[in-house]
Amino acid sequence: MAFKPSGHPLHPPATHFALALPCAGAVFDAVSIWRPVPHWPAAAFLCIAAGLAAAAAALIAGMIDSVRFGCLDEHLPARTSSLFVRHISLALLGEAAFGASLWLRAGFTAPTPPAALACSAAGAVLLLAAGWHGGELVYSAGIGVRHSPPDETAAGPGNNGA
C-alpha cells in the first residue's frame, strides 16, 4: 500500500522548519555581535542543528515529489527545468553553508567565530533564494498544482472510492 496524502505535495510543508530554523540561527548570530552573551550563540547552534535535521526530511520529500510530479521528465520546459536545478542547487549550497557554520563553531561557543558567522549569513541568503525559486516552480510553472478537477471516484476524505 502506497502512501498517498490525497495527491498533495509532501515537500512544501516539510520546508518550513528547514528554512526558518537555520535562518533564525543566522539572526541569533547577528544579534550575538551586538549583544555578546552566551545564550545567543547557543540558540544559533541549536536552531541550525535542528534546521539541518529538518532539511533532511525536506530533501527526501522533495525527491519523492520530484518523481510524483514529473520534475525529472525530459519533456519538461527548459525554463522549468532550469528553475528546478537552481532550486535544488541553492538549497543544497545553503544547507552546506549552515553545516559548515555548525562545524566551525564546535558547539556552544561564545563568541561565535567570524567564519561561522559568515557561513550563517551566506546560508541564509542561499536558502531564501532557494525558497524563492521553489515558489517560482509552484506559482509560475505550476509544479505540484492540480490543473483538473479531482477524480470523483478516487478514495479520499469522506469518500471510500465506491
Strand partners, 159: 156
Whether pTM > 0.85 for this model: the answer is no
Is the distance from CB of 41 to CB of 12 less than 8 angstroms? no
Q: Where are the domains of the chain?
A: 11-139
Higher-confidence residue: 6 or 95? 95
Share of the chain above pLDDT 90, in %: 48
Confidence of residue 88 (pLDDT cuts 50, 70, 90): very high
Which is it for the CA torsion 125, 94, 131, 23, positive or negative? Answer: negative
